[in-house]
Chain A
Amino acid sequence: MLLFLTRRILIALPTIILISIFVFALQKLLPGDPLLVLAGEERDPAVLELLREKYRLNDPIVVQYFTWVSNALQGDLGISLRTNQPVTELMLQKLPVTLQLAAMSMIFALVIGVPAGILSAYKKGSLTDYIANVVALSGLSIPNFWLGIMLILLVSVKWQLLPASGYVPLSEDFLQSIRTMLMPSFVLGTALAATMMRHTRSAMLGVLSADYVRTARAKGLTERRVVLKHAFRNALTPIVTLTALLFGELVAGAVLTEQIFTIPGFGKMVVDAVFNRDYAVVQGIVLVTAVGFIFMNLVADALYFILNPRLRGQ
């Protein structure tokens, strides 16, 4: 297990280095001098030179890169050119918001997608299967923003059941926090539920015809046990792997949803930063997201490993 993980991390390292170079280079290559943003109306060459010196923009590019990386490793991702706050601090504020959104969406996706997938595989070719597939396809093709707006109009404006926007931290008011996140995570979750359902279905179809499922039936077990224990346990690996990978995608998918529901999360921060040419923030976000992605990949690998008795035993 340890050996396996070490090997995976060793493979992941060059990827992270490449990404960091890319992120760093991007800033250098992009048009628009961030200093001009920083300096505002001030165009005095002396001031600009002073700022250059302060942000060490006169060092050789390689030195700049290493300074940046070593700072990043110590958790210092620079200062937001806009707000003058440390980027790390900004992100630590926003991250929990988005993580909560992602986690709640994932719960929606799993609770809807997995049982639907199991059922439609078990009843393959039946009306149930057909309906599940049609609903899943609709779930995939309905745009998030449309569903989001419709929900706001119905649930918030017409029925006044849930808040239309905003965010309350979990620590402040647990119930209210869940309530505000309910609609956004439903919107994000249903789209994922469709993907989840289709993967669950195909994984289940593969195992339902396996010889050991026949054995389980020959033992006189109930169908429930045959399907939910003997078949599902063997379909679990792809589902769990997918969950880990989709979690990363969720954070990315949050951008739009956070805009619709005006949630002050990661996604909103990205959009704001890009529009403001707040490069340090963009850099920080891209780096952290990329590392997060790679980390979720590692988690997926580890889960795959843990779920497979054969790999575990070696």
Chain B
Amino acid sequence: MSPDPSPLSPPDTGDQGRDILSLRDFRLRFRGQPVPTVNGIDLKVAAGEILCIVGESGCGKSVTAMSIMGLLPPRSSEVLSGSLDFLGKSYDLRHENLPAGQRGNQIAMIFQEPMTSLNPSFTVGNQIAESVLQHQGGSRAEAMERAHDMLVKVGIPAPRQRLNEYPYQLSGGMRQRVMIAMALANDPKLLIADEPTTALDVTIQAQILDLIRDLRRETGMGTMMITHDLGVVAEIADSVAVMYGGEVVEYGPVTEIFDNPQHPYTIGLMSAMPRLDQPGGRLAIVPGSVPSMANMPSGCRFRSRCAFAHARCADPAPKVEAAPGHSVACHFAPLEQNLAVTA
């Protein structure tokens, strides 16, 4: 339990070879902001693993995901540090992104807004086939056939007919299925799903989660699932990274995070969590709100909302191993022991 000043890192599964992606010490500042919006993120995803990134709106989940994909507009932000290992290659994010040839190919992403994420002017078949043609080449007819197979795979009824339909002819749930079909058309090794069910109603939400889980089992792809819904986490995650203010404050296997939460923020989230049979709960019940970048406290960024905050918390929080593979960034972790001592 010795404090370790290095940024909070993912649990060591002792199986490095299987890691598809690992992101180390990623820090990013938007132009005009006094402090980095993303302040030292470490994540990794292994084959077949579903990692859930959870945290309140605005904590930097999407920015991190978009940066991994290389989709953040370059002019508006500056990467201060970060290296990305993907499929055995290493990229220094300060100077380079994943090559476009990987995007939509080995690494794919789906978004929160199924209603607007498909191009209204092109047919569903055209949009899926385009991705196949871009990365695999071949004939248009073959690509269309592949698009058809993908629609079958994601469980869209009457797939042949759907190929020639436009997005407006599909419901939100169907559109998200199309997005998944498009993302998986080139058999990616990693799927990043940024709140894929937030905009959908509860029944459809459950169906989409089932689909992602099934596809994971079938293809062995790793999945990075972003959500602010702990119901979704409980449903689907193998491991969980809890984010607050652009930092990972707690990271570990899903059972550890739910049964043995150590960070005051995680504990707050848990007590704010709705019943599991009613997904869709929001994480707004932790008292207070995320400060703006201008008001972000130094040291532990959760300090302004933490019930246990102490003078010491003005220093950066150390990383503590609460259990094997379960790490926490807090001066007082593990909480129960240390509170007992100070009390």
Of the candidates B101, B116, B166, the one whose C-beta lies within 8 Å of that of A210 is B116
Whether B109 pairs with A218 at a CB distance below 8 angstroms is yes
* CA distance in complex: A217, B105 (Å): 12
Stretch at the interface among B42-50, B118-126, B153-161: B118-126
Q: A211-B116, A212-B119, A234-B120 are in contact. Are A219 and B131 (CB under 8 A)?
A: yes
Report if B295 contacts A (CB, 8 A): no
Whether B103 pairs with A217 at a CB distance below 8 angstroms is yes
- Which residues of chain A have C-beta atoms less than 8 A from B121's C-beta? 233-234, 307, 309
Whether A313 pairs with B131 at a CB distance below 8 angstroms is no
Whether A218 pairs with B168 at a CB distance below 8 angstroms is no
Q: A212-B117, A219-B130, A233-B119 are in contact. Are A309 and B168 (CB under 8 A)?
A: yes
- Which residues of chain A have C-beta atoms less than 8 A from B71's C-beta? 214, 217-218
| A232 CB to nearest B CB, Å | 10
- Which residues of chain A have C-beta atoms less than 8 A from B166's C-beta? 309-310, 313
Report if B100 contacts A (CB, 8 A): yes
Report if B113 contacts A (CB, 8 A): yes
Report if A220 contacts B (CB, 8 A): yes
Whether B118 pairs with A219 at a CB distance below 8 angstroms is no
**Binary interface profile of A, 190-230, with partner B (CB < 8 Å = 1, else 0)?**
00000000000000000000111011111111100000001
* CA distance in complex: A210, B120 (Å): 11
- Which residues of chain B have C-beta atoms less than 8 A from A214's C-beta? 71, 111, 117
- Which residues of chain A have C-beta atoms less than 8 A from B103's C-beta? 217-220
- Which residues of chain B have C-beta atoms less than 8 A from A211's C-beta? 111, 113, 116-117
* CA distance in complex: A222, B99 (Å): 11
Whether B131 pairs with A220 at a CB distance below 8 angstroms is yes
Of the candidates B100, B111, B117, B118, the one whose C-beta lies within 8 Å of that of A220 is B100
- Which residues of chain B have C-beta atoms less than 8 A from A307's C-beta? 121
Whether B119 pairs with A220 at a CB distance below 8 angstroms is no
- Which residues of chain A have C-beta atoms less than 8 A from B122's C-beta? 230, 233
A-B contact pairs, 27 of them (CB 8 A): A211-B113, A211-B116, A212-B116, A212-B118, A212-B119, A212-B120, A214-B111, A215-B111, A215-B179, A215-B182, A217-B103, A218-B69, A218-B71, A218-B111, A220-B102, A221-B104, A221-B130, A221-B134, A233-B119, A233-B121, A309-B120, A309-B121, A309-B168, A310-B166, A310-B168, A313-B166, A313-B169
Enumerate chain B interface residues (CB-CB to A < 8 A): 69, 71, 100-105, 108-109, 111, 113, 116-122, 130-131, 134-135, 166, 168-169, 179, 182-183
- Which residues of chain A have C-beta atoms less than 8 A from B108's C-beta? 218
- Which residues of chain A have C-beta atoms less than 8 A from B182's C-beta? 215, 219
- Which residues of chain A have C-beta atoms less than 8 A from B100's C-beta? 220-222
Whether B169 pairs with A215 at a CB distance below 8 angstroms is no
| A213 CB to nearest B CB, Å | 8
- Which residues of chain B have C-beta atoms less than 8 A from A220's C-beta? 100-105, 131, 134-135
| A308 CB to nearest B CB, Å | 8
Q: A215-B179, A219-B131 are in contact. Are A230 and B169 (CB under 8 A)?
A: no
**5 residue pairs, one from A and one from B, having the closest CB atoms:** A220-B103, A219-B104, A220-B104, A211-B116, A212-B119
Closest to A312 in B: B166
| B201 CB to nearest A CB, Å | 20
* CA distance in complex: A233, B130 (Å): 15
* CA distance in complex: A222, B109 (Å): 17
Q: A218-B71, A218-B103 are in contact. Are A310 and B120 (CB under 8 A)?
A: yes
- Which residues of chain B have C-beta atoms less than 8 A from A221's C-beta? 100, 104, 130-131, 134
Of the candidates B105, B113, B119, B120, the one whose C-beta lies within 8 Å of that of A216 is B119
Closest to A211 in B: B116
Closest to B70 in A: A217
Q: A220-B131, A221-B130 are in contact. Are A215 and B69 (CB under 8 A)?
A: no
* CA distance in complex: A214, B109 (Å): 10
